[in-house]
Amino acid sequence: MIKKLVPNEKLLQYAGEPQPPQAGIKDLNQRVYYPYIPSEDLKEAVNLAISLNRPLLLEGEPGCGKTRLAGAVVYEFTQKYLGGQKDENGEQKWWDYYIWNIKSTTRARDGLYTYDAVARLRDAQLMGTDPQRLEEFLGRYETKKLKTRLQNKKNYLEFGALGKALQEHSHRPILLIDEIDKADGDFANDLLLELEELRFEVPETGERFPTPEHKPIIFITSNREKPLPEPFLRRCLYFFVDFPDNNRLQQIIEQRFGKQLNKKKLIEQAIKRFYDIRKMLENQPGSRPPGTSEFIEFLIALLNKEDIKKALEDLEELSERLPLLGTLLKTKQDQDLYSGKK
């Protein structure tokens, strides 16, 4: 049994104390974790959101680390409060973590639940036609399963990430609502009740899920593609995630790849070239400076080269190394601009 944790913000604080995860570690759902180095202000924002029971809305340019913050907190809570606890398969238990990836077609109810009324109608029609012939066709076991499924409406109900997070847990689960600005304009307003009162209903089955004792810790990310409505913003704690400066990027690289002293010069030159490119594109209309994720791919490509001298040459002549340049710059316009063709 997982030790029941009191929903007290003093117990659940993201302080960065446990060792960060080794690059590429996976949880039971095969989610991948990497070292994360937050600023002091970001740590304070997380702790404040926890203590106020408010969703933490994170904005910032793509690649600044918004999405991975929730996973970093999950990893820390796993180490702090579940370290050494095993499940029935002998695997390390992980903190409950739900991810809701938003798309342009996503509806607010999708995050709570989906109810397959069509499947229930189909099953009812199958049972109502000719049960004897149905048993001859499906067999007794499958026919019995079909009948059992029909007897309970809940068998056609599937909870989404938000619906799972709003149910009772032995501790405060973590929910990530990723890229909320991708949805249409009414989407955020449709979540006001659930985010304010942390409860919901399922009319199809008559179930009600009251505010849980252990309220979820909610992270919401936005790339500012669309403005979010004022009523939604009032229910969130807001934090703008700045792009990491040179020193913090150095720390991120050391945590991710270790101190590769024999490639120190290559890493330093790669970081310098990366920031030069970002500075060049910052004020260019229609351009998007590369983010941390692009830089890490760029650096991996360089570090994978056995000949460090060749890697340094590629870095020096980057404008002529289009495949390598393509890890940083994702449009021909930006590549031509960097190469001096525009």
Between 263 and 14, where is the model more confident?
Answer: 263
Q: Are residues 282 and 188 in the same domain?
A: no
Q: What is the mean pLDDT of the segment spanning 48-59?
A: 96
Encoded amino acid at 159, one letter: F
- Residue 140 in tokens: 């007794």
Enter the DSSP assignment of 86. B
Name 237's bridge partners. Answer: 56
Structural domain boundaries enclosing 301 = 246-339
Q: Can you tell me the distance from the alpha carbon of 244 to that of 136, in angstroms, rounded to the nearest whole number? A: 66
Q: Can you tell me the distance from the alpha carbon of 189 to that of 233, in angstroms, rounded to the nearest whole number? A: 10
The confidence score (pLDDT) of residue 261 equals 62
The confidence score (pLDDT) of residue 34 equals 84
- Burial call 20-58: b when 16+ CB within 10 Å, e when fewer: bbeeeeebeeeeebbbbbbeeebeebbbebbeebbbbbb
Q: Are residues 100 and 200 in the same domain?
A: yes
Non-local (6+) Cβ contacts of 159 within 8 A are 112, 113, 167
Strand bridging mode 25-26 / 32-33: antiparallel
pLDDT band at 8 (very low <50, low <70, confident <90, very high): very low
Strand bridging mode 157-159 / 113-115: antiparallel
The confidence score (pLDDT) of residue 256 equals 84
Q: Are residues 94 and 138 in the same domain?
A: no
pLDDT band at 26 (very low <50, low <70, confident <90, very high): confident
Task: Flag whether pLDDT at 195 surpasses 70.
Answer: yes
The confidence score (pLDDT) of residue 137 equals 61
The confidence score (pLDDT) of residue 204 equals 93
Residue 253 lies in a domain: yes
Q: The CATH number of the domain where 101 resides is what? A: 3.40.50.300
Q: State which of 174-178, 183-187, 336-340 shows the largest mean pLDDT.
A: 174-178
Between 112 and 7, where is the model more confident?
Answer: 112
Residue 16 lies in a domain: no
Q: Are residues 278 and 211 in the same domain?
A: no
Q: Are residues 219 and 262 in the same domain?
A: no
CB 299 within 8 A of CB 270: yes
pLDDT band at 11 (very low <50, low <70, confident <90, very high): very low
pLDDT band at 13 (very low <50, low <70, confident <90, very high): very low
Rg, the chain, Cα only: 25
Q: What's the structural domain count of the chain? A: 3
- Residue 114 in tokens: 């989906």
Q: Can you tell me the distance from the alpha carbon of 237 to that of 214, in angstroms, rounded to the nearest whole number? A: 19
Residue 299 lies in a domain: yes
Task: Give the position of tokens 């509806």.
Answer: 107
Backbone angles phi, psi at 291, to 5 degrees: -105, -175
Q: Are residues 95 and 190 in the same domain?
A: yes
Between 26 and 133, where is the model more confident?
Answer: 26
Task: Flag whether pLDDT at 45 surpasses 90.
Answer: yes
Residue 75 lies in a domain: yes
CA angle, corner 302, sides to 300 and 305, nearest 5? 105
Q: Are residues 49 and 186 in the same domain?
A: yes
Residue 19 lies in a domain: no
Q: Are residues 190 and 209 in the same domain?
A: yes
Q: Can you tell me the distance from the alpha carbon of 36 to that of 184, in angstroms, rounded to the nearest whole number? A: 31
Please state, in angstroms and as integers, the Cα–Cα distance from residue 84 to each residue in 53, 97, 174, 179, 211, following that order.
Answer: 28, 18, 20, 34, 30
Residue 136 lies in a domain: yes
Strand bridging mode 157-159 / 207-209: unpaired
pLDDT band at 16 (very low <50, low <70, confident <90, very high): very low
Give the mean pLDDT of the chain: 87
- Residue 223 in tokens: 């790339």
- Enter the pTM of the model: 0.86
Q: Which helix (H) or strand (E) holds 136?
A: helix 131-138
Torsion sign, CA atoms 89, 95, 100, 101: negative
Q: Are residues 257 and 229 in the same domain?
A: no
The confidence score (pLDDT) of residue 139 equals 66
- Residue 148 in tokens: 């059992």
Torsion sign, CA atoms 270, 275, 280, 285: positive
Last residue within a domain, chosen from 221, 240, 259 = 240
The confidence score (pLDDT) of residue 262 equals 73
Q: Are residues 195 and 271 in the same domain?
A: no
Q: 3-state class of 70 per DSSP? A: helix
Q: What is the mean pLDDT of the segment spanning 72-84?
A: 90
Q: Are residues 236 and 263 in the same domain?
A: no
Last residue within a domain, chosen from 195, 216, 240 = 240
Residue 118 lies in a domain: yes
Residue 271 lies in a domain: yes
Last residue within a domain, chosen from 185, 206, 240 = 240
Percent of the chain clearing pLDDT 90 (strictly above):
57
Q: Are residues 169 and 77 in the same domain?
A: yes
